């Protein structure tokens, strides 16, 4: 039982390059999330998927796209990377469900640098 | 949408002292308030949470209090130890269309000096 698995752990991109961050959970959770963490800014929500087949914008969605591939997997794509996207990215999941209050389980993060 | 303010941004205490971190939220319908601890280079991990129908919850040296009228909640750590040193985040879960979204405060860096 690995929990939430993110790949890669580290990535360096040049401005304008694209990449996809992968996330998978094995806890049969319904809801999945992508956050970015920057110094002094806390954790800001990029996109989330309340359930398989749905995705919604969070607080800072510009420059990103997501795909909920199936119940287990939720990927984040940067189509044209910019230095402002240098950050640590965390994927998270929770049981979810309407009205459910359950904690988030986080992956180990992806440290992305855009030069 | 929901807005969560967290104070202080940094907190330094002596080992054995208590530490208190405070958060306020804006959405009066928010109903779930977790606290996460993040050690350097690691992922955030849940340490305690409270739901809106409860005013206080304790787990060993950690307690959380919630004041729904004033829309604020606090984390209390007693008998602090060096291993409590970390960044702590509060969060609030919105209502209605935001029911699935957790909004985080900006974090508090707690340093426990031996």
Give A13-58 pLDDT, tens digit per residue: 999 999 999 999 999 999 999 999 998 888 999 999 988 999 999 9
User: H/E element holding B11?
Assistant: strand B10-14
How many Å apart are CA A79 and CA A82, to the nearest integer? 10
> Which residue in A66, A8, A81 sits closest to A33, CA to CA?
A66
**pLDDT of amino acid A100:** 57
Give chain B positions within 8 Å (CB) of A38: none
Beta-carbon separation of A43 and B42 below 8 A? no
pLDDT digits (tens, 9 = 90+) for B9-38: 999 999 999 999 999 999 988 889 999 999
Q: Is B34 an interface residue toward A (CB < 8 Å)?
A: yes
Please check whether residue B10 touches A, CB under 8 A: no
- Asked whether B52 and B32 are in contact (CB, 8 A), the reply is yes
pLDDT for A95 equals 86
Of the listed ranges A78-87, B15-24, B25-34, B91-100, the least confidently predicted one is B91-100
Q: For residue B98, what pLDDT is reported?
A: 58
Q: Is B97 in a helix, a strand, or coil?
A: helix
A96 pLDDT band (50/70/90 cuts)? confident
Residue A109 to residue B43, Cβ atoms within 8 A:
yes
Average pLDDT over residues B63-75: 96
Query: Alpha-carbon torsion B66, B70, B71, B77, what sign?
Result: negative
| Closest in A43, A48, A101 to B104, CB measured | A43
Q: Say if B105 is an interface residue toward chain A (CB within 8 Å).
A: yes
d(CA A107, CA B73): 26
DSSP line for A35-58? EEEETTTEEEEEEEESSTT--EE-
Cβ count near B29 (within 10 Å): 12
Which among A90, A101, A104 has the least Cβ separation from residue B51? Answer: A101
- Are A45 and B6 in contact (CB < 8 Å)? no
Triad A71, A75, A76: Cα angle to 5°? 145
């Amino acid at each position: 039982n690995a929990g939430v698995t993110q790949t890669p752990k580290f990535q360096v991109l040049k401005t304008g390059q694209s990449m996809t961050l992968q996330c998978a959970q094995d806890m049969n959770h319904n809801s999945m999330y992508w956050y970015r963490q920057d110094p002094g800014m806390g954790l800001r929500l990029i996109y989330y998927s309340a359930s398989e087949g749905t995705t919604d914008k969070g607080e800072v969605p510009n420059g990103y796209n997501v795909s909920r591939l199936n119940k287990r997997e939720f990927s984040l794509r940067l189509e044209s990377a910019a230095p402002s996207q240098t950050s640590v990215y965390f994927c998270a999941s929770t049981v979810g469900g309407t009205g459910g209050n359950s904690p988030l389980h986080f992956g180990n993060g992806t440290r992305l640098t855009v030069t | 949408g929901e807005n969560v303010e967290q104070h202080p941004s940094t907190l330094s205490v002596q080992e054995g002292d208590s530490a208190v971190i405070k958060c306020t939220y804006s959405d009066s319908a928010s109903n779930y308030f977790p606290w996460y601890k993040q050690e350097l280079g690691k992922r955030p991990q849940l340490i305690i949470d409270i739901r809106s129908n409860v005013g206080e919850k304790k787990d060993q040296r950690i307690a959380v209090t919630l004041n729904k009228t004033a829309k604020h909640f606090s984390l209390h750590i007693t008998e602090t130890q060096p291993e409590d040193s970390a960044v702590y985040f509060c969060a609030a879960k919105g209502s209605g269309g935001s029911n699935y979204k957790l909004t985080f405060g900006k974090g508090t860096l707690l340093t426990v000096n031996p």
